Homo-oligomer: A and B are copies of this chain.
Amino acid sequence: MDLHQALKSSFLFSGLTEAELSQIQAIAGIKQYAKGELIFAEGKEATCFYIVASGQVKLYKISAQGKEQILHIVNPGETFAEAVMFSGGHYPAFSETLSHSRLIHLPKEAFLQLIKQNPQLSLNMLATLSKLLRRLNRLVEELSLKDVSSRLAQYLIEQSRQTGQPTETGVQLELDASKTQLASRLGTISETLSRTLRKLKQAGIIQVKGNLITILDLDTLNEMASGAKYD
C-alpha cells in the first residue's frame, strides 16, 4: 500500500476530492518502524499525528509500578494522536509498534490549515473524535464497573462479530494480539487473563487452541459480558 492508497483508504479522508487528497499528500511523510519501536513518549511535544499504513500500533499508559494499560490498538487505515492538534501540545500517552509497521505522519500545523479550509475534513475529524470518545467511555465503564470475566466476555463477543468464522461447534475467532497485550488492553495482567480463560474453558463456554478461540455458549457469554455474576 503506497502513500496515496493509504490516505484514500482511511475513513478520515473519505468523501474528499482527488485534489484535496493531493494537498494532504503534499504535507505527508511515511516512515518504517521495527517491531517494538517507540513512536512517541507520553508528555513529549506533539508535532504531528499518524496514520497506520501497515502493521499495528499500541497506545498505552504506564503506572509508577510498571503496570501497562493499553488504551487502543490501531490497525491499518486508522489514525491516532489526532486530538493533539486541537488541545494540548503534548502527547497524552505512549505509542509503540506491535509489529513491523509503516506509518504516515502529518505535521500538526500544516494539517490544521487544511482543516480550516475544508469543511468536509472538519466533519470527518469530528466523527473520528466522537468515535474515540465512545470507545473511551466504554473502557471507563468496563474498568470501573465490570470484573475481568465480563471484560473478557465482551471482548470475545466483539472480536467474533468482526472477525469470527462459523464452525461446526461455534464461532471461531483469532486474537488480534498476544495474550499479554490482550491482558493489558483488558486492564489486567497475563496471569489473571490465563486463569480467566481457563475458567471459561472449564465451564464449557469457550475452547482455546493457541490464539484461536471458539465460542461454544454464546448465551452465557453474553450474560457474563453484561456484568451478571457467574458461579
State whether the Cβ of A140 lies closer than 8 Å to any Cβ in chain B: yes
Q: How far is the CA of A130 from the CA of B82 in the complex (A)?
A: 9
Cβ of A131: which chain B residues have Cβ within 8 Å of it?
87
Tell me, in angstroms, the Cα distance from A131 to B131 when the chains sit together: 14
Closest to A131 in B: B87
A183 shortest CB reach to chain B, Å: 12
Q: Closest chain B residue to A92 by CB distance?
A: B137
A137 to B71, CA, bound (A): 8
Residue in contact with A92 in the complex, picked from B88, B115, B134, B227, CB distance below 8 Å: B134
- Report whether A61 and B116 are in contact in the complex, using a CB–CB cutoff of 8 Å: no
| Partner-contacting stretch, out of A99-107, A121-129, A167-175, A201-209 | A121-129
Interchain CB contact under 8 A, A126 and B122:
yes
A67, A122, A140, A144: which has the most chain B beta carbons within 10 Å?
A144
Kindly list chain B residues whose C-beta atoms are within 8 Å of the C-beta of A228. 64
Which A60-76 residues have a C-beta within 8 angstroms of B? 61-65, 67, 69, 71
| Stoichiometry (number of copies) | 2
Which B residues are in CB contact (< 8 Å) with A119?
A: 116, 119, 122
Q: How far is A61 from B64 in the complex, measured between Cα atoms in Å?
A: 28
The complex places the Cα of A215 from the Cα of B144 at a distance, in Å, of: 28
**Interfacial residues, chain A to chain B (CB-CB below 8 A):** 61-65, 67, 69, 71, 83-88, 92-93, 115-116, 119, 122-123, 125-127, 129-134, 136-141, 143-146, 187, 226-229
Some 16 contacts from A to B, beta carbons below 8 A apart, are: A61-B140, A61-B144, A62-B145, A63-B144, A64-B227, A64-B228, A67-B144, A67-B145, A83-B133, A83-B134, A92-B137, A93-B137, A115-B126, A119-B122, A122-B126, A143-B187
